Structures are given as C-alpha cells and as structure tokens.
Amino acid sequence: MSYLPRPYTRFRKEHPKLDEAYEKFSLACHEAGPLDERTRRLVKLGIAIGAGSEGAVKSHARRAMEMGVSREEVRHACLLALTTVGFPAMIAALEWMEEVPTP
C-alpha cells in the first residue's frame, strides 16, 4: 500500500500483535467468498460511504484506483450512495474521493 495514515501507523507500532491479528482476520474476510478483488474493493468503498467515514472512503478509493478501478468508476460508486444514504453523505464521499491523488 502506497500510503498509510499516521493514526494507523502509530497503532501498528504501538500494538503489533493486535495489528497482526487484525491483518489476518481482514484477509480471511476478504477471501471468504466468491467476489473478485475489483468487486470487493468497490463493495468496501460503498460500506465506507454508508458509514460516513472519511478516512475509510479515502483509503478504499485509493486502493481501488491502485488496483485499476478508474476514477470515473469510483465516482460512480459514490453517486450510487445518493438514494441509500442521502445527498449530504454522497456529496461528502465525492469530495473525499476527489482528494485522493490518482496513482
């Protein structure tokens, strides 16, 4: 991963055993079903948008684009949130996504 936020890197440094356990659990969840990598990235972006988490939206948008999802496709995923989580949440997600540099 090209960028890790400071709070996350601090957590990793201060709690390496928890980080290791979290990483293993995360990987197990990621690989638990039939969805391909691209779909999983977009689903996780949608979950982050629904949760209203700026850091997670930026992280999942960045990771999706790093694996080849276009900025337009990420933008479309944000637009799809409009009818589920509402206009303010969708606009916030678009703004957060636009702050992510293109890889």
What H or E segment, with its residue span, contains residue 3?
none
| DSSP result, 10-55 | HHHHH-HHHHHHHHHHHHHHHTSSS--HHHHHHHHHHHHHHHT-HH
pLDDT at 8: 86
Per-residue model confidence (pLDDT) at position 6? 86
C-alpha gyration radius of the chain:
14
Query: Under CATH, to which class is 36-103 assigned?
Result: mainly alpha
Q: How far are the Cα atoms of 13, 57, 63, 93 from residue 38, in angstroms, in the given order?
A: 30, 16, 10, 19
CA distances to 15, 40, 84, 87 from 63, in Å: 24, 11, 23, 24
pLDDT tens, residue order, the chain (103 aa): 556 778 889 999 999 999 999 999 999 998 999 999 999 999 999 999 999 999 999 999 999 999 999 999 999 999 999 999 999 999 999 999 999 998 8
pLDDT of residue 22: 94
User: pTM here?
Assistant: 0.85
Domain boundaries, the chain: 1-33, 36-103
Q: What pLDDT score does 2 carry? A: 57
